[in-house]
Structure 1
């Protein structure tokens, strides 16, 4: 590394010791060959500074903090920071297909797509094809020097997507020696074990320095039923004592039994009367034994007394330890964590050409493998009376009840097996660059970077839905059992060629021929390429009385492209629950930015220093056109102890490739009837009734119009999920006001308080069938919702709808951050305390843009008023004791709750404690022993949260053991 740049590490270490990088740090240069004070740089600015003052709030997390928590994935720590929340994680992607196993962070709860993750100040490859959010699984923990979190005002410095802020992961640049690290995590209850291994080594020579590492992690899955608290679940049901909606008696109450809801039977079940009535319900519910004979369905605990109406009327409860015939329940084949295996190889190197210039190189290869296990494919089959496999007892039952067919509900675990979604992701990223000094006052940094993610998805346990329907409709024809070929009236006119008949009534196995005809697998290959060219020059423009005007200028070109290639059966929509068309999309953007720091005052009354920070970025996107982001900030040192910072900025987020180019995939939706129906208009009490009448007639529907298709009344309407190339960039107005207090009369103590505000307009939101109502309720037909469905020109019937992203939402978030650090000597050691907390003032979101649709989320589960983290580290000799507490304030499930809704809206506060002990058995060998969730805190006992792994710890108390050897 260049001699002038060698001081960077020492300077940053000094900044880290300052707690929040908010104060002024003067770094003395002890290098006899370079007598200048080194310019250094932190996240939030590309200007290297002689005196370090942060223009925006920056929280610094040292790599040692990962070690102190026994953490091997960056996101496991970030999700505990009060400024952030969980984006995606193995705990929240157990039901996802393409996102299985991803680890993304989400600053301010504004969405992972609005958090820009950088590695050494540069963009990283997205974690999923077509997205922008970075999968933190691809960042090697052993290479992390520190993590810097800058919130607000970052888009002008780093570009789009930094609406909520930037997470900049700084890696180690060199090393002299080899380090081996191994660790394991063992939960108290079975499942969820994790194993980690890394080897890191490097060399520091006169001209060449490098570091390389190999990381391996294995996280095992664990089922929900493996945890005691889930085996004793908290369910609710319709309150029998509730008479109406005005008696102040809750409509739903907690069911005080260890029960689960059951739905489908593996052997198949059916009713001989309307399943949506409770009269005689249990007496008309049947299934099959292993020989295909009918028997009464085993309902477990059976129906509870007077279970209510609607969704409760068609459900039965069963003991979780005695499921009876019901195999679909809250606990069946569901997991708290997706299994994940990852291997990461990475390297960083610097070759010093001379005292002024150096070449840089970095490389990352990552392979992650995750498998999500789901329920077996489940169906509703129509079994006609002429089915050849119906036995005499079922035939008599149907005849006695006058049935020409029954609907058989079935989940076939033993026939086709569980559905498994396997995701293998390979990430390759490399860059070549140069950095150095052009003059004594001006430096430069340039690089070219290429990255790719390849994502292979394999589905097993899938079924060709039409083939299954063909095989089940088996009849006797010309003396043989065949798959029925029927005419429009349902009469058998022949046999379907190539079809293998199948008896699904009580079946537990299938022949090879039946498997070949009905069962299948599906695949999808996807890739995302990223290319970046960038050049930054920074230095001093001229000198003012208060100091030098510093500047940084950047030019950047970036290209993102994504393609997907689904298998033929997915492309044609032939398999159960999955269909997808190929995608091919590309975005190019050219960006120019300027950042200028202007010292206004120095050593004046009530102003030890006053600096104006400005930044402006121009962006030209190939799809959404040109845009800009800017920042104005003041950094004001009032006294040696007190500093104030103010920031006003405009940020943008460009739509990602998925938002723009997602191809058609089939979907269905049931819900509200067409608002243009004459009977709907006549009975409407909506404030928008006049708009609806006017707009429906303007759309060509005469007064008194009624649809001719029955399903328009509220049934299942076909639709398509697709991207929208007419999207525009989101725009956010950001504000930050902060105070940093470092009292000189108390050594080692500092306080930071920051008020922040985000107002996002034109936020991208997906709209589907609900677009129909929004279209006609608007003041005119000139609105973005009317393009999301189509009508038949002759009948006026809606033929289909589109689920598309639209720039219609508005988001407002406001809050305050508090951070304090204190360091002191205690007995024969040292004690370090660090408190970080966030108070949420506003969390208003509106998906439609209409004023009356604004909803306040503050105080609900995802948006607690207070979140806090306190860490205490006591070090003595070669040993350290680390205690960490994480706190979430008490919340409610729904701010719009009334006493009529339920009796379980309140969710208590939640605190967990982690402990770690570290010691050196010898100079080269470190041993770590820790306990996470020290008090074995379970999720709150509430129907909404008792199994919520997104915000609460569902893994339970666990022991972590690790060792590190350096040689």
Structure 2
């Protein structure tokens, strides 16, 4: 065993109580005398110390806590912690084509990209190519010793991205024996089953110790229609009683019934109507087809929803109600092909080991391999086909209604489920990470640690049932030629038929539910996308004692790190060329290199004085040199003040940074469009500005400075050009985001109540230059600024001769400001009773302020405080653990305060702005049937709480439990 550093004559012996979630003080409350102690490194600092009273707020979750909750993915527990929220999860990525099934965490709700996840104090390869957020699917729960959550900026210690804080997952380093764990979760309603298996083994030899594990998890999907609360239906519709914008009557109201969109059918439908569709168009001039092509009126099930608006709102009269016996013709019915969770299958193999060279030095090594697969049924492909009057497929009945309406063409709305093959999306992600390092003792006061690690994620994505958009349009635009044959037409600019398109296979969509093999070969296809992200890190740290002061030893740590990240994306040719409907991707190549130096110091100022049992100053500084964004720094100042043996005060002030990720920097051009031809520099646009408009003079001056004379107007040709073309792309001119945060905390451990710990922390974050994506709106923002020297002016291009806008770019800019403030409350109480031990734990977060400003201008200020999208005023978690002999009983209560959908709501808007509070209760019982055989039985969501029933929350699986009550059963055997 490695020697312990001989630093002090007294130390702290640390004991993490099994199953307890503890603060940094609660886990270090037993003092013991010793001549030589082992220094401990806690999250938030690289200085090893003889106690855990860090000035940084750290919440520690023991590995047994995961077991007590029946949790097989650490993110499920992190999502319940008040300091954190869900980033991405299988419940909110069902429609994500590149991130299906990811599990990421998000401290303070500042975004997963601003939370740094570490494994044993080191970075982990990101979960998605080009990103920085770690996919927690790749961390096996079977070997987790504890999870330490350090809130507050930590970039000075760990580098960029630790803006909101750090989640440090500490794994077991050794194990003696073999452990097998199996468990399953069965919801009360159908779907959503979970299966878990792990085998862990290891050995502790004289010089070598190691632990290895294999974890397998399978999470079944479940459809929204598998849940009773969803089947009842809920949405907002226009209020038929509303008369105006100032009548005190809400414009929108709740509607409790399943509804369907009143067009897009499997066999195609069209409106024989010119101009804006009125209710008459829906009721009398809307047609569809039987499978044999016979035209008939569209079936609206139980009938169209009333709407006072004659223009027809898609949320109201453009929708209809239905039941099982009367479904109507629409394919986009309530919940159709919608899923609450992406099916997920994952396997993880890990190895950690240490080989002691001698009493002073050791080699460390580890390796992780993870494979995750998510397969999802895609929603039906929807098309808007142009059917011309001269089409070979327009029958007599359809021709007559077109002629009666004076139409040369109609739009055929069609949504096909499997017409072009099974529409499925499959993504496989493989992660490999390994490291080798050395650690040891330099002398009695100094130690070192160095390592090199390499990580790689590869994503293989496959889409089936895709369609060549041009080929489909060509196949549908078929006519009868002079020989009476149906052929695909070629046309001139006026739409006149000029001949037959060679190689094209005609296709009649009216009434079609299947296609011939020849048609499939011409129209349908598959698409693929390969992506890879490599991360290589070298790090070295030395830490120890500089010298001694009257109050104690001055300790320091010095770190050097080098990191290189490379990402590439290679789509299939049909995606790269944009040939597939609704699915395109371009190749990407990106690389960043980071060189970093950091220093930390801990200086004891007072010891055993009046009102100062101890007072310690801590500081940290890091310099970072990024190959793309350049040099930057981060720092931390902190005080740790033990006022009395019962009362401690901690203060932190830090500057942290978030570096733009590879996706922000290098996302390649992909085509997009913006409707209309608005340009604030047009003479008619300037004329519409009132004299008291705040930015009127800026607009006039900047337009002229850009070379556009007073009274300038674009050409009629430009104005009639329709949608404006643009590109979505990255921005290599991005800078690092800068966050300034501080924390003030009080820790109270009263001697008169043994086993009680109370903690209160006030925290504040202010982020400047936050990365925000801007598109067409950059044009107006550019000219409203005080000068043309602003980042928005680079997001569009004008023709040098005419001044007309040729295209725009939707790309990220350092423009936003974020402010978030709140308080954390934590209490832990342990006591003996009923022939056993109770451990009670309460953690809560109170949100004081949550503001964002996308541009930095006063009018773009937005208050999110108290809104449903993860900004509730209160979030809390209470757990009660009772242990008796070999048995344990755990009750966990999660609370989310009532919220509103929109802080800017008025009674004129709707009648469903308020969202009620939400509480769930979980229970777990575990015992040993025999000495080495453990049984676990649990019930999650004991009272089967459904999400709050409003149009925007009743099916929200991100913040509320949509699984329903479920039983968990697990067994673990050690031998």
User: How is 1:145-156 mapped onto 2 (pairs within 5 angstroms)?
Assistant: 145-156=145-156
Aligned equivalents of 1:888 and 1:713: distance in 2? 52
Aligned to 1:298: 299
* Aligned position for 1:216: 216
Given candidates 889, 901, 907, the residue that maps to 2:909 is: 901
CA contact (8 A) 1:14 1:25 kept: no
1:532 positional shift: 0.5
Higher mean C-alpha deviation, range 926-935 or range 847-856: 847-856
Separation in 2 of the partners of 1:197 and 1:753?
39
Once residues 368 and 9 of structure 1 are traced to their aligned partners in structure 2, the CA distance between those partners, rounded to angstroms, is 42
2:514 to 505, 509, 516: 509
Q: Distance in 2 between matches of 1:848 and 1:963?
A: 54
Q: 1:509 to 1:711 in 2, by over 3 A?
A: farther
**Among residues 402, 405, 427, which one is paired with 2:431 in the alignment?**
427
Matches of 1:126 and 1:335, distance apart in 2 = 26
| 1:528-927 map, 5 Å | 528-670=533-675, 673-685=678-690, 686-708=693-715, 716-861=723-868, 862-927=870-935
**Distance (Å, rounded) in 2 between the aligned partners of 1:56 and 1:713:** 60
Provide the rounded CA distance (Å) in 2 between the counterparts of 1:447 and 1:8.
28
Q: Tell me which residue corresponds to 1:325.
A: 329
Partners of 2:21 and 2:521 in 1: CA distance = 67
Q: Deviations over 1:356-396 (max 9, x none)?
A: 11100011000000123221221111101111122111122
Q: CA RMSD in A?
A: 2.0
1:680 alignment partner, SS class: helix
Alignment of 1:88-237 (within 5 A): 88-237=88-237
Write the distance in 1 (CA, Å) between the matches of 2:837 and 2:246.
62
Contact 2:840–2:881 (CA under 8 A) maintained in structure 1? yes
Deviates more, 1:776-785 or 1:337-346: 776-785
Q: Secondary structure at the match of 2:952?
A: coil
Confirm or deny: 8 A CA contact 1:610 1:636 kept in the other structure: yes
Corresponding residue of 1:954: 962
Shift in Å, 1:263: 3.8
Q: Could you tell me whether the CA contact under 8 Å between 2:20 and 2:65 is conserved in 1?
A: no
Q: Is the CA contact 2:107–2:165 (under 8 Å) kept in the aligned structure 1?
A: yes
The Cα of 1:239 is off from its aligned counterpart by 1.2
Instruction: Give the Cα–Cα distance (whole angstroms) in 1 for the partners of residues 327 and 726 of structure 2.
Output: 36
Q: Contact 2:22 / 2:61 at 8 angstroms: preserved in 1?
A: no
Partners of 2:355 and 2:362 within 8 A in 1: yes
For residues 203 and 256 of structure 2, the distance between their equivalents in structure 1, rounded to whole angstroms, comes to 64
CA deviations on 1:575-618 (whole Å, 9 max, x unpaired) are 01121111111100010000000000000010000000000001
Is the CA contact 1:376–1:461 (under 8 Å) kept in the aligned structure 2? Answer: no
Taking a change above 3 Å as real, the CA distance of residues 268 and 307 of structure 1, as seen in their structure-2 partners, is farther
Alpha-carbon distance in structure 2 between the residues aligned to 1:669 and 1:640: 65
Per the TM alignment, residue 14 of structure 1 is displaced from its structure 2 partner at its CA by: 7.0
For residues 307 and 100 of structure 1, what CA distance do their matches in structure 2 show?
40
Shift in Å, 1:795:
3.7
Post-superposition offset of 1:280: 4.2
Q: Does the CA contact (< 8 Å) of 2:739 and 2:765 recur in 1?
A: yes
The 1:740/1:872 distance shift into structure 2, 3 A limit, reads same
Q: Is the 8 A contact 1:29 1:37 kept in 2?
A: no
Deviation at 1:302, TM superposition (A): 2.5
Shift of 1:674: 2.3
Q: Under a length normalisation based on structure 1, what TM-score does the superposition of the two structures give?
A: 0.97
Matching of residue 437 in structure 1 with residue 444 in structure 2: no
Alpha-carbon distance in structure 2 between the residues aligned to 1:532 and 1:878: 44
Q: Does 1:457 align with 2:457?
A: no
Q: How far 1:320 moved relative to its partner? A: 5.2
Checking the alignment, whether the CA contact within 8 Å between 2:306 and 2:316 is kept in structure 1 is: no
Query: Contact (CA 8 Å) 2:259, 2:320: kept in 1 or not?
Result: yes
How many angstroms apart in 1 are the aligned matches of 2:244 and 2:89? 42
> For residues 150 and 436 of structure 1, what CA distance do their matches in structure 2 show?
26
Superposition deviation, residue 627 in structure 1:
0.5
| Matched position secondary structure for 1:599 | strand
- 1:778-817, Cα deviation, whole Å (9 max, x unpaired): 1222111111112233443322211101000000000000
Between 1:587-596 and 1:680-689, the stretch displaced more is 680-689
Q: Is the 8 A contact 1:260 1:331 kept in 2?
A: no
Structure 1 residue aligned with 2:83: 83
Q: Is the 8 A contact 2:5 2:445 kept in 1?
A: no
* Structure 1 residue 312 displacement after superposition: 4.2
SS across alignment from 2:964? coil
CA distance in 1 between partners of 2:417 and 2:774 (Å): 35
Q: Which moved more, 1:395-404 or 1:528-537?
A: 395-404
Is the 8 Å Cα contact of residues 235 and 260 (structure 1) preserved in structure 2?
Answer: no
Query: Residue 928 of structure 1 corresponds to which residue in structure 2?
Result: 936
Which deviates more, 589-598 or 259-268? 259-268
What's the CA shift for 1:701? 2.8
1:946-967: CA deviations, max 9, x gaps?
1111111111111100000000
User: CA–CA distance in 2 between the matches of 1:84 and 1:18?
Assistant: 15
Q: Kindly indicate whether the alpha-carbon contact (under 8 Å) linking 1:376 and 1:416 is maintained by their aligned counterparts in 2.
A: no
Q: 1:116 to 1:709 in 2, by over 3 A?
A: farther
Q: How far, CA to CA, are the matches of 1:35 and 1:712 in structure 2? A: 84
Cα distance in 2, alignment partners of residues 263 and 718 from structure 1:
29
Structure 1 unmatched runs, 5+: none
Secondary structure at 2:87's aligned position in 1? strand
- CA shift for structure 1 position 883: 0.4
Higher mean C-alpha displacement, 789-798 vs 443-452: 789-798
Matched residue pairs, number?
964
Decide which moves more: 528-537 or 17-26. Answer: 17-26
| Cα distance, 1:23 vs structure 2 | 6.1
Cα 1:200–1:299 change in 2 (3 A) is same
- TM-superposed CA distance for 1:734, in Å, is 0.7
Report whether the alignment pairs 1:377 with 2:378: no
1:785 is paired with a residue whose SS is helix
Q: Tell me if the contact between 1:301 and 1:318 (Cα under 8 Å) persists in the aligned partners.
A: yes
In the alignment, what sits opposite 2:14? Answer: 11
Deviating more after overlay: 792-801 vs 890-899 = 792-801
Query: Is this contact kept in 2: 1:276–1:314, CA < 8 A?
Result: no
For residues 519 and 711 of structure 1, what CA distance do their matches in structure 2 show?
36
Distance 1:313 1:490, change over 3 A: farther
Using the TM superposition, give the Cα deviation of residue 718 of structure 1 relative to its aligned residue in structure 2, in angstroms: 2.1
